[in-house]
A and B are shown apart, each in its own frame.
Chain A
Amino acid sequence: MSRIIATAAIRGAHSIIRRAEEKLKSAMEILGATHPVELPNTGYYLPVIYGITGRKVTRLSEIGPVLALAKELLPPLPAEARWTPYLGPMLDAGMATLFAEEIIEALRYVTGPSPVEGIWLGAADDVILRERGIEFVDGRAPGFAAVVGSAPDVPTAVKLAREMQQKSLYVFMAGRADGTSFAEQLAGADVQLGWPTRLVPFGEEVCAHIYSLGFATRVALSFGGVTPGDYRRVLSYNKTRVFAFLLALGPVTDEWYANAAGAINFGFPVVADTDIPEILPYGICTYEHVVARVPHDRIVARAVEVRGLKVPVADVEVPVAFGPAFEGEIIRRNETFVEIGAGRSTAFELLVTRPMGEVEDGHVQVIGPDLDDLKEGDTLPLGLVIEVAGRKMKEEFEPVIERRLHYFVNYLEGVVHIGQRDIVRIRVSKKAFAAGLRLQHIGAVVANRVKAEFGSLVDKVRVTLYTTPEGALAEQEKARAVYRRRDERLDALTDEAVDVFYTCSLCQSFAPSHICIITPERLGLCGAVNWLDARASCELKQTGPNQPVAIGTCIDETRGQYSGVNAAMQRYTQGKITSLSLYSMMEDPMTSCGCFEAIGAVLPEANGIFIVNREYTGDTPLGMRFSTLAGMVGGGEQIPGFMGLARAYVISRRFIQADDGLARVVWMPRQLKEFLREGLIRRGAEIGVPDLIDRIADETVGTSVDEILPFLKETQHPALSMEPIM
């Protein structure tokens, strides 16, 4: 019964807190109270402690008060008889455990042994958080499984991992049982571990699962816009939006129970394969809290059900696994059976619309040799041509669906897809070939997914794979003509050329208070949804996340104020936001979720703005890192002078045109400059400053106003001679 769990969890909490105390004591003795302590590259300090208590731990001396709080939370063990209620105290012990574990792990970064060792990855930094967090936001990852312990044998471990990957779950691993761990079992079976395959080995000890909860906490802070210290919202956000659970494999120890009690605070239930007591009533979690004795062939399905999660699984019949978790798979040269494209052969992909009568639905044909006819290390030309027909299909949706081909092909286990159009490159692994995978299957998967995801646009699909050199080359010529036509049309697609914009609330599962307005020249600030995507999505689902916005009358052309947009904002924000300037960050700017690719912020001393992308981990000229800025920007508020944005928006003609546009940009990280190089040069020329890119400072010039101002003066940056920005 639950008292046994409560007793064990509280006992475990006591011992973990004792360990943290000892570790702190020795660190203080060796390094002194002022020694810095931090997890690598995060703006969220020790994230669980920061999220729950609002305390910023940066030095050893700041740990003491947190440990004191943990001890204050620590209840005595429940009595053997006539006990007083233990659920609340057990949850408190769980939270105390998490504080102590975060301290233990953070101290390992200071005093060693390093958490990053062998297969173990240690803490996920903010770059990973944002990159992977987006997948939680847009639904590519429905949740995560925190696996503790080990499977009874390696094949079971591999099977469980594959099953979770197929369900698109992230698998966070820490803790050992019976002398081994789930992660080590997978590594031993040559399963690719790491963030790209969603199989993430955090650490050898169960303590390292604090990184799972640190991840969850940061999702709430960064995507949910929750204020650090607002523990109620951090936890309720996780309960309702982060679909995670604990999978306990092997004998459950007191410390596991203590961790479980911590996780239950977040609404994450525990599913175990051993015979432990259960906690079935609902309440803190959405459904059951602890479910035990689940056989391995049912445990993943049961866990998903207990968490209350619906996982869409593609019903494709192929000889290998299929799912987003395989998108990040790496196939090294020596593991490759065949490589297509990459300069070695003609390769392209094209999706075109045909009249209904011309498409034979479901027809998949390889014209030329399939993989059977090849030997290891060979190459093959490939023209992947998808012809679709549908009453609601429009030519303008072709690139929207075509862009998805990358994912459809990549989701196959043992297949890597890189690039697009005629620079596409595909590798098929030896293992996949051995398992029976052929080009025919790739065609079938594509046909299946196009119908599944774009069913209301596409009534018929036909896939043809041209694999003879002549056939592929001839089709490529035709494809290139289509690409050219599309590009011309895209250039002509401007804000003034359309009479409808779209809202985007795709991320509302995670950022409930934000709404994007998407125009042809301003894509969603996550960078993932442009106007055409939104238009197609709207066609796909009338009540979906993208709703049309009639532009209405123009109130202010420069700022991009439109009556219809204002009305839509008012409606979708329940009156919170009544006025929106599409092209200004100073007056009624767009709000931000937490998924933005970059942040623009005013730098008054330079009379301009700087832009920082989320991959950049250093300081910015405002003295804040991306994560800190992100905390200020997110949460669906209009904050003049700050804005979340997509990188591509920087080189849009409409980029903050009311605030004098691109010429205001005085600083950006070098990697962002490189990413935008071509566009910056083009747009610079258009606005009469062809060398603007060289006048924009970056971190090599400096990360403070004092460092970059002389540079801006020297290069005569145009912002310096403009009207004051504020």
Chain B
Amino acid sequence: MKREDQFTDCQASRQMIAKASRDGTVTMFDQIRERKVCKFGADGSCCRICYMGPCHVREGGPGADTGVCGATPATITARNFGRMIAAGTAAHSDHAREIVLTFLKILDGEATGYTIRDPAKLRELADVLGISSNGDTKELARKVAESLLAEFGKQEGELIFPSRAPAKRLEIWRRLGVVPRGIDREVVEMLHRTSVGVDQDFEHLMLQGMRVALADGWGGSMIATELQDVLFGTPYPLRGKVNLGVLREDHVNIVVHGHEPLLPMVIVDMARDEELLSRTRSVGAKGINIAGICCTANELLLRKGIPVAGSVLQQELAIVTGAVDLMMVDVQCAMQGLANVAACYHTELVTTSSRARIRGVTHVEFHPEHAEETARELILRAINNYSRRGIVEIPREEMDMVAGFSHESIRYMLGGRFRTGYGPLNENIINGRIRGIAAMVGCSNPRVRDGYLHTTVVRELIANNVLVLTSGCAAISCAKEGLLVPEASELAGSGLREVCEAVGMPPVLHCGSCVDNSRLLVVATEMVRQGGLGDDLANLPLVGCAPEWMSEKAIAIGQYFVSSGATVGFGVRFPTLGSEEFSSFLFEGISALTGGKWFFEPDPMAMARRLIEYIDAARRALGIEQARERVLFDMEMRRQIATG
């Protein structure tokens, strides 16, 4: 096996890893090889929250079995885990805050580069928030934005979105005392409780872990998703392209990378500006090509059909093509190593967020008030850089996909305008054509073979009639392997295939970026509401997984799924294995509280099998494990049908 083949299943990436090697460029794939994994760090049992340590602890083995302060491995792993949840929640929620603040600036007339693209969604959102929707759009928008902004700083009471959950789920949360009070408060409280000498009962601490995570899924992430839909349009299925082959040799290539769509959306619009296009032609390029990396890519793909150059693991490789004239990054998952890689080629790397700079990298700060000017400036920089290109080698690989599955578009595709709803999904789960639903989310991780785990799990799931909803870099991995086209239903089991063909959908539905995992909560809630699959999220034959996770955000997402009643499997390695006591709480004990739990499984086939087992268990509990007899209705039975 060639060196580059160990890192990834992606042919384009292999080609670029090899090229980087030849070019003498150091990428994450070189770094990972050098990296010795610290067992204590990896397993969560290294405590460095005070300076009496650091303390490396392990249960029952050689070495200390508690920290200097007496903290047990369970406490230490729980604290580390809790801080990961807090950090992930902070990331999603700070993204959301930026959207809300920008939204208010738009309403104040300070940010002129934006308009509200989806007033219908605004009205629905207002309904959810209990805001009367009789006023004009702008007034309504203001009320909505103010109400959402207040969610961050609230000190008491409950966040609003958790009340969307099925009544039974909300009751469970209330009984556990884990309904978030305010997004920022929960993050702060977690940091406090995990600092030295505070909350040292791992079960008690994990109640806060649940509360923080819920403040992400049913708080920050949901705010980001919903308001971005209002602002930029709710995604509906469209065709897109993915992989490095979307870069174009004869175009000015601008790669947008990161997470917040605020500036990239304006860039996309601005790239059609005639003056800029004529400048482009004057430097000898045929046009401006925008391509995305990571979740910015997903945001633009779902709403504009903008091509995706790659996942988080391809950020450096895109530059290695020599064809990227400018790469702009904002927040999250933009690796500092980009600076060195960019320095090896002509690519101009630009940071744009006031919150994130990379030392030595050009910073063009984005403020919504000047979005269009900034966009113009960045595009001009890219155009001006075009002529500085050296040797260009763009891999040929590009793959089609169909993406854009929001709650709104799923309910539409299943019934059109007049029979909108989840009926066909639930019915075909009940009758067994669809065995269940698996959410596959999360990152790509150079510590495992890129794409191999994702696609192996997905292929096995769909072959067993499990419909997969995916997001983030997991979605990009699957897309590159051609799993996001409707024709992929040929790989599905006969039942799922029949449903995919009836609806015209792929067996793997791309739902968006990582904040968009909140969509999956809404979808699950709507499935419960549709009926026939129990009255709680925990009753659904629905599981989650993140086989190639790496970001703290993935842990926050996993925990809000578990707190919402789902069983969630993570691959790579699990950051609490340093304590069997705490791990067994996450893997078993927690299910007595939430109905959901974690599991760790690095082998993709084994992970798929376990996910299917959990789905089957849920089916058994619902009494739908076996095909039902067709019910034929006589008049008597019709009289019994509830008023509807």
> What B residues does A283 contact at CB under 8 A?
414-415, 423-425, 427-428, 502
Whether B427 contacts A82 by the Cβ 8 Å rule is no
> What B residues does A279 contact at CB under 8 A?
502
> What A residues does B644 contact at CB under 8 A?
233, 236-237, 240, 512
> What B residues does A519 contact at CB under 8 A?
none
**Contact code string A505-530 (vs B, CB < 8 Å = 1, else 0):** 11011001100000000000000000
Q: Does B633 sit at the interface, judged by CB under 8 A? A: yes
Could you say which of A304-312, A646-654, A694-702 contacts chain B? Answer: A304-312
Tell me the minimal C-beta distance from A407 to chain B in angstroms: 16
Question: A301 to B633, alpha carbons, bound, how many Å?
Answer: 14
Known: A282-B428, A513-B643. Is A88-B417 also a contact (CB below 8 A)?
A: yes
Closest partner residue, chain A, to B637 (CB atom): A310
Which residues in chain B, 471-511, are within 8 Å of chain A measured between CB atoms? 485-487, 498-499, 501-505
> What B residues does A237 contact at CB under 8 A?
644
Whether A85 contacts B505 by the Cβ 8 Å rule is yes
Which residues in chain B, 412-440, are within 8 Å of chain A measured between CB atoms? 412-420, 423-425, 427-428, 431, 433
Closest partner residue, chain A, to B495 (CB atom): A281
Known: A281-B428, A305-B632. Is A88-B416 also a contact (CB below 8 A)?
A: yes
Closest partner residue, chain A, to B405 (CB atom): A85
Whether A312 contacts B634 by the Cβ 8 Å rule is yes
Question: A189 to B237, alpha carbons, bound, how many Å?
Answer: 52
**Contact code string B39-63 (vs A, CB < 8 Å = 1, else 0):** 0000000000000000000000000
Q: Does A711 sit at the interface, judged by CB under 8 A? A: no
**Contact code string B391-427 (vs A, CB < 8 Å = 1, else 0):** 0000000001010000000001111111110011101
Q: Does A115 sit at the interface, judged by CB under 8 A? A: no
> What B residues does A86 contact at CB under 8 A?
503-504
Q: Does A158 sit at the interface, judged by CB under 8 A? A: no
Whether A282 contacts B424 by the Cβ 8 Å rule is yes
Q: Does B19 sit at the interface, judged by CB under 8 A? A: no
Whether A84 contacts B402 by the Cβ 8 Å rule is yes
Q: Does A231 sit at the interface, judged by CB under 8 A? A: yes
> What A residues does B22 contact at CB under 8 A?
none
Known: A82-B485, A283-B423, A509-B639. Is A235-B502 also a contact (CB below 8 A)?
A: no
Known: A305-B632, A312-B634. Is A265-B504 also a contact (CB below 8 A)?
A: no
Whether B425 contacts A241 by the Cβ 8 Å rule is no
Sorting the interface of chain B by its residue count into under 10, 10 to 19, 20 to 34 or 35 or more gives 35 or more
Tell me the minimal C-beta distance from A298 to chain B in angstroms: 16
Tell me the minimal C-beta distance from B430 to chain A in angstroms: 8
> What A residues does B633 contact at CB under 8 A?
243, 308-310
Tell me the minimal C-beta distance from A574 to chain B in angstroms: 9
Known: A84-B239, A84-B402, A308-B630. Is A545-B415 also a contact (CB below 8 A)?
A: no
Tell me the minimal C-beta distance from B418 to chain A in angstroms: 5
Known: A82-B486, A281-B499. Is A95-B418 also a contact (CB below 8 A)?
A: yes
Question: A88 to B239, alpha carbons, bound, how many Å?
Answer: 17
> What B residues does A308 contact at CB under 8 A?
630-633
Question: A229 to B408, alpha carbons, bound, how many Å?
Answer: 21
Which residue of B416, B427, B637 is within 8 Å of A87 (Cβ)?
B416
Whether B419 contacts A1 by the Cβ 8 Å rule is no
Question: A29 to B291, alpha carbons, bound, how many Å?
Answer: 53
Whether B635 contacts A85 by the Cβ 8 Å rule is no
Tell me the minimal C-beta distance from B237 to chain A in angstroms: 4
**Contact code string A229-270 (vs B, CB < 8 Å = 1, else 0):** 001110111001101000000000000000000000100000
Whether B238 contacts A90 by the Cβ 8 Å rule is no
Give how many A-B residue pairs fall within 8 Å (CB-CB): 142
Q: Does B638 sit at the interface, judged by CB under 8 A? A: yes
Question: A154 to B239, alpha carbons, bound, how many Å?
Answer: 50
Q: Does A280 sit at the interface, judged by CB under 8 A? A: yes
Closest partner residue, chain A, to B635 (CB atom): A139
Tell me the minimal C-beta distance from B508 to chain A in angstroms: 13
Which residue of A3, A235, A287, A304 is within 8 Å of B504 (Cβ)?
A3
> What B residues does A289 contact at CB under 8 A?
502
Known: A95-B417, A281-B433. Is A78-B499 also a contact (CB below 8 A)?
A: no
Of B433, B499, B503, B642, most A-chain CB atoms within 10 Å: B503
Whether A240 contacts B641 by the Cβ 8 Å rule is yes
Tell me the minimal C-beta distance from B634 to chain A in angstroms: 4
Known: A308-B632, A512-B642. Is A2-B504 also a contact (CB below 8 A)?
A: yes
Whether A281 contacts B641 by the Cβ 8 Å rule is no
Question: A309 to B522, alpha carbons, bound, how many Å?
Answer: 34
Question: A139 to B414, alpha carbons, bound, how many Å?
Answer: 32
Closest partner residue, chain B, to A304 (CB atom): B632
Tell me the minimal C-beta distance from B63 to chain A in angstroms: 56
Tell me the minimal C-beta distance from A80 to chain B in angstroms: 11
Which residue of A2, A78, A82, A265 is within 8 Å of B502 (Cβ)?
A2
Whether B632 contacts A310 by the Cβ 8 Å rule is yes
**Contact code string A158-172 (vs B, CB < 8 Å = 1, else 0):** 000000000000000
**Contact code string A93-137 (vs B, CB < 8 Å = 1, else 0):** 011000000000000000000000000000000000000000000
Known: A240-B638, A280-B498. Is A83-B431 also a contact (CB below 8 A)?
A: no
> What B residues does A47 contact at CB under 8 A?
none
Closest partner residue, chain A, to B236 (CB atom): A84
Which residues in chain A, 205-249, are within 8 Å of chain B measured between CB atoms? 231-233, 235-237, 240-241, 243
Whether B504 contacts A78 by the Cβ 8 Å rule is yes
Which residue of B418, B503, B635 is within 8 Å of A231 (Cβ)?
B418
Tell me the minimal C-beta distance from B383 to chain A in angstroms: 32
Whether B239 contacts A281 by the Cβ 8 Å rule is no
Which residue of A2, A142, A287 is within 8 Å of B635 (Cβ)?
A142
Tell me the minimal C-beta distance from B145 to chain A in angstroms: 30
> What B residues does A505 contact at CB under 8 A?
639
Known: A233-B644, A512-B641. Is A91-B419 also a contact (CB below 8 A)?
A: yes
Tell me the minimal C-beta distance from B11 to chain A in angstroms: 20
Question: A94 to B417, alpha carbons, bound, how many Å?
Answer: 11
Q: Does A89 sit at the interface, judged by CB under 8 A? A: yes
Question: A310 to B503, alpha carbons, bound, how many Å?
Answer: 28
Whether A284 contacts B504 by the Cβ 8 Å rule is no
Question: A656 to B416, alpha carbons, bound, how many Å?
Answer: 48
Question: A305 to B631, alpha carbons, bound, how many Å?
Answer: 9
Whether A82 contacts B402 by the Cβ 8 Å rule is yes
Q: Does A52 sit at the interface, judged by CB under 8 A? A: yes
Whether B504 contacts A87 by the Cβ 8 Å rule is yes
Closest partner residue, chain B, to A236 (CB atom): B644
> What B residues does A233 contact at CB under 8 A?
644
> What B residues does A281 contact at CB under 8 A?
424, 427-428, 431, 433, 498-499, 502
Whether B427 contacts A282 by the Cβ 8 Å rule is yes
Closest partner residue, chain B, to A93 (CB atom): B416
Of B499, B505, B632, B637, most A-chain CB atoms within 10 Å: B632
> What A residues does B634 contact at CB under 8 A?
139, 142, 310, 312
Question: A583 to B424, alpha carbons, bound, how many Å?
Answer: 48
Q: Does A534 sit at the interface, judged by CB under 8 A? A: no
Question: A139 to B427, alpha carbons, bound, how many Å?
Answer: 27
Tell me the minimal C-beta distance from A455 to chain B in angstroms: 15
Which residue of B237, B424, B428, B501 is within 8 Å of A84 (Cβ)?
B237
Tell me the minimal C-beta distance from A594 to chain B in angstroms: 14
Q: Does A92 sit at the interface, judged by CB under 8 A? A: yes
Whether B418 contacts A232 by the Cβ 8 Å rule is yes
- Could you jot down 20 A-B contacts, CB within 8 Å? A2-B502, A2-B503, A82-B485, A84-B402, A86-B503, A86-B504, A88-B415, A91-B416, A139-B635, A235-B419, A240-B638, A265-B418, A282-B431, A283-B425, A283-B502, A284-B415, A284-B424, A308-B632, A312-B634, A509-B635
User: What 7 A-B pairs come out closest when comparing CB atoms?
Assistant: A283-B424, A91-B416, A139-B635, A85-B413, A509-B638, A86-B504, A310-B632
Chain A residues at the B interface, C-beta cutoff of 8 Å: 1-3, 6, 52, 73, 78-79, 81-92, 94-95, 138-139, 142, 231-233, 235-237, 240-241, 243, 265, 279-284, 287, 289, 304-305, 308-310, 312, 505-506, 508-509, 512-513, 545
For the complex with contacts A265-B419, A282-B424, A305-B630, 8 further pairs of A-B residues with Cβ separation under 8 Å are A87-B415, A92-B416, A240-B641, A281-B431, A283-B425, A309-B633, A509-B635, A512-B643
